[in-house]
Structure 1
Amino acid sequence: MRHDLRVFPPLGTQPLRRRLLALGATAIAACALGLAAPQAHAADKIIIMVGGINKLIYLPPKLAESLGYFKEEGLDVELQSQPAGVDAENELLAGAVQAVVGYYDHSIDLQSKGKEVTSITQLLLVPGGMEMVRADLAGTVRSMADLKGKTLGVTGLGSSSSFLAQYLASRAGLKAGDYSILPVGAGNTLIAAMKQKRVDVAWTTEPTTSILLASGAAKVLVDMSSVEGTKAALGGLYPASSLYVHRSWMMSHKAEAQKLARAFVKTLKYIQTHSAEDVAEKMPKDYYGGNKAIYVQALKASLPMYSPDGKMPAGGPEQVLKVMAGFNPNIKGKNIDLAKTYTNEFVDAVK
């Protein structure tokens, strides 16, 4: 709202005392009318940016909202969405949001750049996605080693999917110059990129994975939707989706951080104790992509990837650091303090 002060006579025509009194009265009146209220309200609201809110890897925040768990904690939470985790991260750094649901590895990458964010609840034990190859190339591209001269699709440059794709390629003996990377987002934009043959292999998650498989447009190249598949591909667990915040915000908002952790732990417990059909019923109908059966099927296959308790798995941070240090120039030669990239303090306090 605009507050026009031109109702006052020009300043030069009033004695100084009258001018100060008039301006002071205006400020008091503005407060009485609640004109300062939006700022106070904004300070109370917690905006959580999600790196693709309709992806199953980021299901917990919307489910928590649908179940009323944020309100039960007395929190005023607004969920917003960005197509890639790296974009959500930028919103956090800009101060536009208070928290992000994105991959834990961003906490490590940001610390290497002098920015401290901390994961306060771990939502996924594994990346929860797959590298998928176009169906017409499935006969010749049987592993990541066959990607020389090919184009890899990722959600965004600097995104977790780009970290993982480069690491998988390096484990297969390829160098960065052997292939190209193209950001294609997720969901419909990724599907379009595959069908238009702008990418040869792409990282994607449910329900997009099931949609591509059902349509025959792509086949699975590397499966990291399960603990077993992730260990086979990466050599260990790779804790992925998490709720992370600025470390300074966490230290100055302990009560809010605890309430957020409690809401998410309750949500994870709900996932563990309910069927895929039950969970799907709590989600917005437009998340089904016009096919509820495929959505439920994808959700059923995804249930094992969710953390049962929100805790960081033992050895997980070390494995993520190992993956990233293999190719990420920001991390090479840096001393990363993993203890500052995550904490179990808040989930441990949940009864």
Structure 2
Amino acid sequence: MRRLRLVWPVLAICAALVNASAARAAAAPVPEKPRLHLAAAGVGFPYLPFIIADSRGYFRQAGLDIEIGVFSGGAKALQAMMGGSADIVAGAYSNTITMAAKGQKLVSFVTLASCPGWVFGTTRASHDKVKTYADLKGMRIGVSSPGSSFHMGVNYLLSKAGVKPGDVSIIGVGSSAGAIAAARSGQIDALMSNDPVATVLQGSGDLFPLAVMRDPAGTRATLGGDYPEAAIYTTRDFAARYPNTVQAVTNAVLEAERWMANATPEQVAAAVPPQYALAEKDVFARAYANMQKCISRDGLMTDAAAHTVHDVLAAFDPEIGKASIDLKATYDNRFVENAGKR
């Protein structure tokens, strides 16, 4: 009898959990556009929450069927959305600001990474010649793609040393295998990368860091404040027309971020499909441990962080500095805040 008395409370708790889950699912708004095309700026670690949301079935649970297209940089992912072949982008929040300066209304609605996870360094080909940013004048610098957030980050760091954008050669090398190959083959003298590429190249002695932004402290020291690198964004028109769809995407990404906050690096590595891994599981887990503090835990954008991104862009782009930009219009926290009310 005593055993039965113990079992009944457990069964009651399980039933309550199932009922609560069912109630949340029933309360969730039905997406107006369940089939979506997501353009990803890359599969580096700042973008892991959307990969986990897909691999662990959170998008599907939210009523979404998402087709993911991975591009070689944020500029190309943005171009895909603006051209109509993608509905939403997993890319740099900074794109919402640069496009606002051009009169285009984009809005970030859930943050993926609260710091960029960038590692900027010299390659083996030029390591002996470069000690400071100023020494990079006239050299070849690899970024994911020209016009990407990686490129913008390079411009900002060089501007601190008085090196103008035209003083270096920018080469698009992608953000995964292409970047590794370019660094090892001597095609570039320096590289802006994130993990796992940075960990792989550091481990093989092919990348020597000048700046490391793998955690909030390192980011603040280098960029002057919190710098939300990766987010999910879309056009303001899309968000207004399909609010339930945007809410569903937000809910799925937040589920992924909550899971990642409690998972070990090994568990995260195991949850990433092979086509997105870019490295063996043990290397992937070690690389993730290097920058996991950058992954957002709540999906929110802060006003201070938005201003930091704006100030970094304005430091080397006078058009951003001169433009009248309403930063509060470049992000919308309502979808994240609504997710907590379900």
TM-score (norm 2): 0.86
Sequence identity percentage:
31
**Partner in structure 2 of residue 213 of structure 1:** 202
What is the 5 A alignment of 1:242-321?
A: 242-289=231-278, 291-321=280-310
Secondary structure in structure 1 of the residue aligned to 2:86: coil
Structure 2 CA distance for partners of 1:176 and 1:75, relative to 1, 3 Å: closer
Segment drifting more, 164-173 vs 148-157: 148-157
Change (3 A) 1:260 1:289: closer
| AA aligned opposite 1:123 | L
Task: Give per-residue Cα distances to partners, 1:120-160, cap 9 Å, x unaligned.
Answer: 00111111111121135333312312212222111111111
TM superposition shift of 1:196: 2.5
State the AA in 1 paired with 2:259.
Y
**3-state SS of the aligned residue for 1:46?**
strand
- Which of 95, 101, 108 is residue 119 of structure 1 equivalent to? 108
Superposed displacement of residue 206, structure 1: 0.7
Judged with a 3 Å threshold, the aligned counterparts in structure 2 of structure 1 residues 143 and 58 are, in CA distance, closer, same or farther, namely same
* 1:8-27 equivalence runs, <5 A: none
Partner of 1:45: 35
Q: Would the aligned equivalents of 2:125 and 2:188 in 1 still touch at CA under 8 Å?
A: no
Match of 2:37, SS state, is strand
Q: Distance in 2 between matches of 1:73 and 1:95?
A: 24
Amino acid at match of 2:196: P
Counterpart in the other structure of 2:94:
105
Q: Deviations over 1:213-246 (max 9, x none)?
A: 1111121111011111111111111111000011
Amino acid aligned to 1:50 = A
Q: CA deviation at 1:288?
A: 3.7
Partner of 1:172: 161
- Counterpart in 2 of 1:133? 122
Tell me, in whole angstroms, the C-alpha distance in 2 between the residues paired with 1:174 and 1:286: 38
Partner of 1:159: 148
Deviation at 1:330, TM superposition (A): 3.9
CA distance 1:150–1:109, shift in 2 (3 Å): same
Task: Tell me, yes or no, if the aligned pair for 1:128 and 1:205 is still in contact at 8 Å.
Answer: yes
In the alignment, what sits opposite 2:192? 203
Amino acid in the other structure paired with 1:189: G
Structure 2 residue matching 1:97: 3-state secondary structure: coil
Which of 331, 334, 338 is residue 345 of structure 1 equivalent to? 334
Match of 1:191 among 153, 170, 180: 180
SS across alignment from 2:129: coil
Give me the whole-angstrom Cα distance separating, in 2, the residues matched to 1:97 and 1:155. Answer: 20
Match of 1:76 among 46, 65, 86: 65
1:90-143 Cα shifts (integer Å, max 9, x gaps): 111111111000010000011111211100001111111111211353333123
The one-letter code sitting in structure 1 at the alignment partner of 2:335 is F
Q: Which amino acid aligns with 2:312?
A: V
Residues 257 and 316 of structure 1, relative CA distance in 2, 3 Å threshold: same
Q: 1-side partners of 2:175 and 2:291: how far apart?
A: 17
1: CA distance, partners of 2:235 / 2:228:
19
Instruction: Report how far residue 290 of structure 1 moved.
Output: 5.1
Q: 1:32 corresponds to which residue?
A: none
Q: 1:249 to 1:290 in 2, by over 3 A?
A: closer
- 2:19 paired residue number: none
1:169/1:73 CA distance change after superposition, 3 Å: same
Match of 1:334 in 2: 323
Which stretches in structure 2 are left out of the alignment for 5+ residues? 1-31
The answer on whether the counterparts of 1:143 and 1:222 sit within 8 Å (CA) in structure 2 is no
Q: CA deviation at 1:44?
A: 3.9
Confirm or deny: 8 A CA contact 2:177 2:278 kept in the other structure.
no
Is residue 35–residue 66 contact of structure 2 (8 Å, CA) maintained in 1?
yes
SS of the residue corresponding to residue 315 of structure 1 reads: helix
Q: Given residue 328 of structure 1, which amino acid in structure 2 is its aligned partner?
A: D
In structure 1, runs of 5+ residues without a counterpart are: 1-41
Aligned-pair CA distance for 1:43: 5.4
Tell me how far 1:329 sits from its aligned partner: 4.5
Q: Which residue of 2 aligns with 1:222?
A: 211
RMSD: 1.8
Q: After TM superposition, what 4+ stretches of structure 1 lie above 4 angstroms from structure 2?
A: none
**Partners of 1:197 and 1:287 in 2: CA distance:** 25
Contact 2:41/2:77 (8 A) holds in 1: yes
The count of residues paired between Structure 1 and Structure 2 equals 310
- Larger Rg, first or second structure (1 or 2): 1
Partner of 1:238: 227
State the Cα distance separating 1:322 from its structure 2 match.
0.7
The answer to which of 306-315 and 239-248 deviates more is: 306-315
